[in-house]
Amino acid sequence: MENTIDYRLVGRLSISYLMALITEVLRNSPLDFLDLLIATAVSDANHRPVPEGGDACPALRGISRNAVSRKLNVPLETVRRRVAGLIAQEILVEQQDGLIFSSANKAGLGGNAELDALNLRMLRHLFRELKAHGVPLD
């Protein structure tokens, strides 16, 4: 007999995890939600694997404003305006191949050990809850 997955339960648990994490990140950030989302999208893009056959340099890969706009489904002009503000705050930096997230930013974003530890605890809780309800995780 096949194990039936309660997708509503999976959705509720995963949304609960996301909401708790987002709430804590916003509570600990001087940025509003959209600026934080843009900075996170840039940081995520900076650490993407280099495409096969591409340059394997250790430097961060930039992302264009247009790519951020498409990735987040936010109008390009809004992204341009918000990115200008994030550059002025030194949260994002422009380099030749696009935008990069500055881990040395004055806003204190990135490398927050307390938020990282909280994320790990919440992920473990999510994993245990899903497992306890018979959701296969492999």
For the chain, domains (ranges, CATH) are 1-28+112-138 (no CATH), 31-50+57-110 (1.10.10.10)
Closest listed residue to residue 99, CA positions, set 126, 131, 72? 72
Q: Over 70: is that where the pLDDT of 77 sits?
A: yes
Per-residue pLDDT of 11-48, as tens digits, reads: 999 999 999 999 999 998 899 999 999 999 999 999 88
CB 45 within 8 A of CB 67: yes
11 against 4, higher pLDDT: 11
Residue 40, classified by CB atoms within 10 Å of its CB into exposed (0-12), middle (13-18) or buried (19+), is middle
CA distance 11 to 114: 26
pTM above 0.85, yes or no: no
Helix axes 33-46, 7-27, angle to 10 degrees: 100
- Can you tell me which residue has the tokens 């039936």? 4
